[in-house]
Amino acid sequence: MRPTWCDIDLDAVRHNVGVLDALAGEAALCAVVKADGYRHGAVPVARAAVEAGASWLAVALVEEAAELRAAGLDAPILMLSEPQAGDMPGVAELGGVRPTVYSEAGIDAFAAAAPGASVHLKVDTGMHRVGAAPADATDLARRALGAGLVLEGVFTHFAVADAPADPFTGVQIGRFDAVLAELAEHGVHPELVHLANTAGLITSPGARRSLVRAGIGIYGVSPSPELAAACAGLGLRPAARLRSEVRHVHVVEAGEGVSYGRRWRAGEPTRLATVPIGYADGITRAWWDGGSVLVGGRRRPIRGVVTMDQLVVEVDGDVAIGDEVVLLGSQGDESISAEEVAASLDTITYEVLVSLGARVPRRH
């Protein structure tokens, strides 16, 4: 078998959930385990999160909620977007899954499928992705109540909470509070009010209402470079460690090119090691330009573009076939973080994590 896998430290997940739950204070913690737990494994991560104090779980898809229920997880599950009307009966059958609603069609479909069940109304305060317009929120809330549903929660989602200096988060909070005030005027008082994601939990204490939705933080990764120091100060621990092994060692002469396009050429005789992991596994092809891996506790630069199944690194005579290669995580005194990889690729840590391919086995 290919000697490539990703170790997932569930003790780190439990630790991170405990840290964020303590930071949330009186607010309950909802662990976001969509996208297969940010590719850490939704079911084992969800179990660890609940064991550590998470009261809720959140997913994006009906299929993700069904997977958690099939695994025996009975915590309340929030679906973060409104399911299609035709999917509402399936949501109802899962039991205890709260769909997000923000349309008349969605409300009516779920009311028909699950009379008396609970829903959460999402308000679009400026993300402009999905959600009810603030002007429509009260009418939709009253429609849900009139249809016999329980309006358990009302929430919104921040657009720039990972940029602490951006004043727009405050604008969103103001718009949301205006919606809550209008709902109260009509006698609507939802049990759960939530705004904060991981970034909002850290940067906006006023957004820690009755529930917080922690996603990337439970995996021990910072939402943005601006929050890296804050996450480190909280003691969050990365849960994923991606590793492989050296499977081939050879020397190329000066002037020889390496990999497709021969975009890197040796300036002198150079010892190279081939590692059986590539862009089919989530190691972005462009990472060759400035990227490195760890072998023997030292950084080794990637040479030539990353290919579908393999990549090549420059090594010295101390490296041999069978040596461990770490692409994400620590080895000796060195480490490569998701934050570093994201910066190298001009992307975000979320994408680095969820790009890890399904054909890389996870070992929990």
Alpha-carbon torsion angle 219, 34, 325, 336, nearest 10: -40
Q: What is the DSSP string of 222-242?
A: -SSGGGHHHHHHHT----EEE
Q: Which residues of 302-319 are buried (b: 16+ CB within 10 A; e: fewer)?
A: bbbbbbeebbbbbbeeeb
Alpha-carbon torsion angle 77, 79, 83, 89, nearest 10: 10
Catalytic residue among 38, 122, 219, 260: 260
Active site residue 122: no
Q: Scan for tokens 């929120």, then name that residue.
A: 137
Active site residue 38: no
Catalytic residue among 34, 122, 219, 279: 34
Between the alpha carbon of residue 301 and those of residues 52, 208, 317, 339, the distances in Å are: 38, 43, 15, 18
Name the phi and psi angles at 73, rounded to 5: -80, 125
3-state secondary structure of 165: coil
Active site residues: 34, 260
